[in-house]
Amino acid sequence: MVAITDYNVAEKSQWCPGCGNFAIVGALKGALADLQIPQHQAVIVSGIGCSSKLPHYVNTYGFESLHGRGLPAASGIKLANNRLTVIDVGGDGDGYGIGSGHFLHIMRRNYDLTYIVHDNQIYGLTTGQASPTSQLGMKTKTTPYGVVETPFNPLSTAINGGATFVARAFAGDMAHMKEMFKQAIAHRGFALVDVFQPCVTFNKLNTYDFFTKRVYKLETEGHDTTDRMKAIEKAYEQVKTNYERLPIGVFFKEERATYEDTLPQIKEKALVDQPLSGLDISAVYPDME
Amino acid sequence: MDFVFKIAGQAGAGVMITGRMMVKCFTRGGYNVIGYPEYPSLVRGGHNTVQVRISDKQIHSPRHDCDLVIALNKDAIFYHMESMAEGGMIIYDQLIDPSRFKLRPDVRMHALPLSKLTLDVGGTEQMKNTAALGAALAAVDYPFGMLETLIREELARKGEEIIKVNISAAKAGYDFVKSGGISFGKQIKPASDVRKTIVTGNEAIALGAVRGGMKFYAAYPMTPASSILHYLIEKERQFSIIAKQTEDEIAAMNYAIGASFAGARSMVGTSGGGFALMTEALGLAAMSETPIVVALVQRNGPSTGLPTWTEQGDLRMALHASQGDFPRVILAPGDVQEAFFLSAKAHNLAEKYQIPVLILSDKFLSETVFSTERFDQSRVKIERGKLVKGPLPALAPMTRWKRYAITDDGVSERALPGTPNGMHVGTSYEHDETGFSSESFIMRAKQVDKRAAKMKKLLKEMEAPDVFGATEGAEVTLVTWGSMKLPALDALALLETKGIRTRLVSFTHIYPLNPRAVKKALRNSGITVMVENNPTAQFAGLLKEYANVKLDFHMLKYDGRQFFAEQITEEVVKLKEAGFKGQQRIEVIEKEDMEYYNPQRHGL
Ligand SMILES: Cc1ncc(C[n+]2csc(CCOP(=O)(O)OP(=O)(O)O)c2C)c(N)n1
Ligand code: SF4
Ligand SMILES: [Mg+2]
């Protein structure tokens, strides 16, 4: 039995009081406990940012990589040891800005891992610059006259891009968020959960209050998660309604072979469980003589 | 016996494959063979060549001048006439009009109706080089049976029909030369039954890594490193490894670091531009103390540079890449055997010391094919260092394992994900002993010192340079690092004939440098000449910096080609004639300009 408290660490989280990240950590621990994933069998990977400090606050294995590089590091971990539960977390700048190239390609590959984006629509750690998801018109340190670049739409991109599980959560609704995480981790394939995460210090527009008034659950509307076109439509609702109606929940889900499924060399045993020494290379000589 | 063929034709005409067949053909005859390719960065339209040098004696590098050129396009006559050996021969496709070119009275010219020969036996234009290969062998009276067997084996998967046509095309070329009385005047008969293996530097690096326990390889295509990726992907299932083409080099490096963090021995391969993109993550490996091996196959920079040519210009980049100070190792194999064993060793060093290890090769070593002995794989031992096996003792609640415990030798025990009670965070931030981010001044200094402490033991792993030639009483000592060992070895023999007693000191363990070993190898060395394939004598600078050794002369070449033994010899002879006086810097540039890239410029 793994208890939720097993994932606790003594160190105090270093986030601003009220930051949405606290709820994300709580929900993630809850999901891990509900799924009974032993501490040593989970690796939480991250990039760099306020959000990316999360691995330090969950008592599992962790790998805090470079800004924007959580996804490739997580991919390598998964390929080397496909028995592990691998979860990558990071910010909107991290994943949709500097790391966007990796985001596009990991979806095509459909590794069996979970990606949680703390989408606070701002660069938190570097004190308030515009991010790829900053809302049109929002004033930030780097957009004194308001954002003019069309915000990146992670959900429609993911649905188009080959992700096999696409969901959104809101850090102000912990029970629902935990449910999203559970489903994402349990899903076989690449699962994205984009979380509306209020940054109470640098984003004065997208606050708890802002979201509470606007979010609604797709489940209550009977949304069909297998309908790709409907899912894309839902992903565009925030644009269509100018952020007035913001659906949360599972947008899209499909079953597809994972990348690991296509590798016979790890069917029986993970790479790390295979012997290193004694591999006879003589078999290659006939081609070379 | 020392004979040099060159097969030359338009890119896409199959010159490279034909060259490799020829290398095999003579290797099977018991000869020492070197197949050296040159090609511009163009897929079609450029001029490709493979030089095949064969000898019954030890040879180490391609020769500058060729005896017999097989010209499949007119460019070949234009480009290679200058570098024909005295009394050489050019066999050219009949479609070429040689009267357009300045010919040499001592070079014999023979036309070959290649199209007709291949079409008559039901072959395609593509098989012209097979016919040409047959013709080349006939000119030196090499038995046709060798080629026939080879074609059968190489094309076994293509079916009997294809095999038959190819053999007929080869035979047509062979017979045309024989019946036409075309003969080079030199007989090359199979010399012995000893069968050597043929291998490129890149194949040796790949095989050494696999034998050294590498389980994960990631790369993004980049010449001249790509063939490592191709080879490993081809053999992926056979070796039970994963070789992954990623979206870019940044991803490749971070994939590999992730895989290594999880416990798989990992490597990336690239050239300078790709390594530039990996630079940030090199520091991640260093800070998180994750073992990683980088095969950096150099070409000419800066920037895109000369993608398909060679240089040793990235040593300083390898040494200084990434911010901050951290221990690393640089190895530079000087031949294919060294490439195999150093590649395996790199993985041991990376894991034992939990550091990045770089293998520096270059286009010349990596893409040239050499006949060699089978690798003595029993010599490769796997050492995993302080890797934790089995579960660790229970941790107090809410605490984590001290992955980065301060130790005397700087190396801490390493637990892999999946190990009970080994939980910790690997991180790019400075951290405390459990991996938790820490900005404590004291902890920061301790962790820096801990990482740096690894250098002490590492220095003992660095082998002294190899010494060849005149160990005593040398008048001149050539100093090389990495692949320049090869032409320098051949220069030793040439200089001997000129009456200059020469020693070669060849470095493969480049950094950290052991000053005592350097001084010992260079004792009583006479006049010292650094032979380096770059414009700034990068390694000579390292010798000065780390061993306080100043070499008398820096012989440098950075025109795109490696040194040829003849060039080294010529310069040393000139030096001697000048009483070993003159400028420290000696620049060597090819005499005739090839400019393969843009044949139109020469009206071709
Ligand atoms: C290569 C590189 N460039 C820039 C930075 C500085 N940097 C650190 S975090 C960050 C952005 C943080 O924003 P986000 O990813 O949205 O995370 P948040 O802090 O909002 O959770 C930046 C630009 C860095 N660490 N590395
Ligand atoms: S800056 Fe914003 S995202 Fe970062 S800890 Fe503070 S509230 Fe959270
Ligand atoms: Mg952010």
Q: How large is the average pLDDT for residues B293-319?
A: 97
The full length of chain A comes to 289
Mean pLDDT of B500-520: 97
Ligand 2 atom with the smallest distance to the CA of A20 is 8
**Terminal C-alpha separation, chain A:** 58
Chain B residues inside the 8 Å CB shell of A77: 258-259, 261-262, 417
The answer to whether residue B348 neighbours chain A at the CB level (below 8 Å) is no
Contacts of B396 (CB under 8 A, 6+ apart): none
Alpha carbons within 13 angstroms on the beta-carbon side of residue A247 total 26
Indicate which of B233, B234, B254, B267 best probes the interface with A, i.e. most A CBs within 10 Å of its own CB: B254
Q: Is the peptide bond before B113 cis (omega within 30 degrees of 0)?
A: no
Mean pLDDT of chain B: 96
The pLDDT confidence band at residue B348, using thresholds 50, 70 and 90, is: very high
- Asked whether the beta carbons of B333 and B309 are under 8 A apart, the reply is no
Topology given in CATH for the domain delimited by B464-587:
Rossmann fold (3.40.50)
B574 to chain A, any CB pair closer than 8 A? The answer is no
Write down the pLDDT at residue B599: 65
pLDDT for B173: 97
Q: Give the DSSP H/E element, type plus range, for residue B353.
A: helix B336-353
Tell me what pLDDT residue B42 has. Answer: 79
Question: What pLDDT, on a 0 to 100 scale, did the predictor assign at position B597?
Answer: 62
Amino acid identity for residue B334 in this structure: G
pLDDT score of B146 more than 70? yes
| pLDDT score for B195 | 83
Buried b (16+ CB within 10 A) or exposed e, B173-192: bbebbbeeebbbeeebeeee
The residues that bridge with B91 in the sheet, in sequence order, are B70, B110
Please determine, for residue B604, whether its predicted confidence score (pLDDT) is greater than 80.
Answer: no
Q: Which of B374, B424, B429 sits opposite A61 (nearest CB)?
A: B424
- Which of B240, B279, B376, B401 to mutate to probe the A interface, most A CBs <10 Å? B240
B334: contact with A, CB 8 A cutoff: no
Of A144, A60, A27, A45, the C-alpha closest to A99 is A45
DSSP letters, A93-110, are HIIIIITHHHHHHHHHHT
Chain A residues with CB-CB distance to B394 below 8 A: none
In a domain, A208, yes or no: yes
A201 lines ligand 2 (CB under 6 A): yes
* Chain A 94-113, residues with CB within 8 Å of chain B CB atoms: 101-102, 104-105
Q: Whose CA is nearest to atom 5 of ligand 2?
A: A15
By the 8 A CB rule, do B561 and B590 touch? Answer: yes
Rg (CA), chain B: 26
- To the nearest whole Å, the CA of B17 is away from the closest chain A CA by 13
CA distance from start to end of chain B: 35
Across B464-484, average pLDDT: 96
Pair B494, B470: CB distance under 8 Å: no
In B, which residues are within 8 Å of A52 by CB distance?
none
| Rounded-to-integer distance, Cα B575 and Cα B153, Å | 50
Query: What CATH number should be reported for the domain holding residue A154?
Result: 3.40.50.970
Would the CB of A179 count as within 6 Å of ligand 1?
no
Report residue B480: phi and psi, to 5°: -135, 165
Q: Which pLDDT band, with edges at 50, 70 and 90, does B603 fall under?
A: low
* Residues comprising chain B, all counted: 604
Q: How many percent of chain B have pLDDT more than 90? A: 92
Rounded to 5 degrees, φ, ψ at A67 are -60, 115
- Is residue A284 one of the residues assigned to a domain? no
Q: Which of B239, B246, B419 sits opposite A40 (nearest CB)?
A: B419
Q: What residue has token string 């190990």?
A: B419
| ipTM associated with this complex | 0.98
Which residue's alpha carbon is nearest to atom 6 within ligand 2? A16
- Per the structure, the complete domain to which residue A124 belongs is given by 4-262
> How much distance in Å is there from the Cα of A276 to the middle of ligand 1?
38
pLDDT value, residue B591: 86
Residue nearest to atom 1 of ligand 2 (CA): A124
B38-55 pLDDT, tens per residue?
998 877 778 899 999 999
Cα B480 from Cα B493, distance rounded (Å)? 16
The minimum CA-CA distance between B277 and chain A, rounded to whole Å, is: 12
The helix (H) or strand (E) run that includes residue B93 is: strand B84-93
Q: What SS3 class is residue B137?
A: helix
Quick one: average pLDDT of B12-41? 94
Q: Which of A45, A65, A100 to mutate to test the interface with B (most CBs of B within 10 A)?
A: A65
Cα angle value B259/B264/B269 (rounded, 5°)? 70
- The CATH code for residues B2-179 is 3.40.920.10
Helical ranges in B441-527 per DSSP H? 441-461, 485-497, 515-521
In chain A, which stretches have pLDDT less than 70?
none
Q: Average pLDDT for residues B80-107, to the nearest whole number?
A: 94
Handedness of CA B176, B179, B182, B187 (dihedral sign): positive
Query: At residue B601, does pLDDT exceed 70?
Result: no
Instruction: Report chain A residues whose CB lies below 8 A from the CB of B257.
Output: 65, 73, 76
Residue A287 resides in a domain: no
Alpha carbons within 13 A on the beta-carbon side of B576: 16
The H or E element that residue B163 is part of is: helix B160-179
Q: Where are the domains of chain B?
A: 2-179, 199-379, 386-461, 464-587
CB atoms within 10 A of CB A34: 16
Order the strands of the B84-93 sheet from edge to edge.
Answer: B108-112, B84-93, B66-71, B2-10, B47-55, B32-38, B369-372, B197-200
Q: Scanning every residue of chain B, which has its alpha carbon at the shortest distance from the alpha carbon of A54?
A: B425
Q: Which of A41, A274, A277 faces B382 most closely, judged by CB atoms?
A: A277
* Domain count of the fold of chain A: 1
Chain B residues touching residue A276 (CB < 8 angstroms): 213, 215, 265, 382, 384
Report pLDDT for B466. 98
* Residue A91 located in a structural domain: yes
CA dist B297 and A207 (Å) reads 51
- Measured between CB atoms, does A25 come within 8 Å of chain B? no
Overall average pLDDT of the B251-280 stretch: 98
Residue A106 covered by a domain = yes
Pairing mode of beta strands B2-10, B265-270: unpaired
Superfamily of domain B199-379: Thiamin diphosphate (ThDP)-binding fold, Pyr/PP domains (3.40.50.970)
Closest-approaching ligand to the CA atom of A20: 2
Apex B142 CA angle, B136 and B143, nearest 5: 120
How high is the pLDDT of residue B431? 98
Mean pLDDT of B130-148: 97
Nearest Cα residue to B479 out of B532, B557, B408: B532
What average pLDDT does this structure show over B488-504? 98
Q: Could you tell me if residue A69 is inside a domain?
A: yes
Say if B199-379 and B464-587 have the same CATH topology. Answer: yes
B434 interfaces chain A, CB cutoff of 8 Å: no
Q: What is the pTM of this model?
A: 0.98
Q: Nearest-CA distance from A63 to chain B in Å? A: 5
Chain B residues with CB-CB distance to A84 below 8 A:
262, 417-418
* Mean pLDDT on B62-84: 93
Question: In angstroms, how far is CA B150 from the centroid of its own chain?
Answer: 26
CA-based Rg of chain A, rounded to a whole angstrom? 20
The yes-or-no verdict on residue B253 having pLDDT over 70 is yes
**CA-CA distance, B423 to A60, in Å (whole number)?**
5
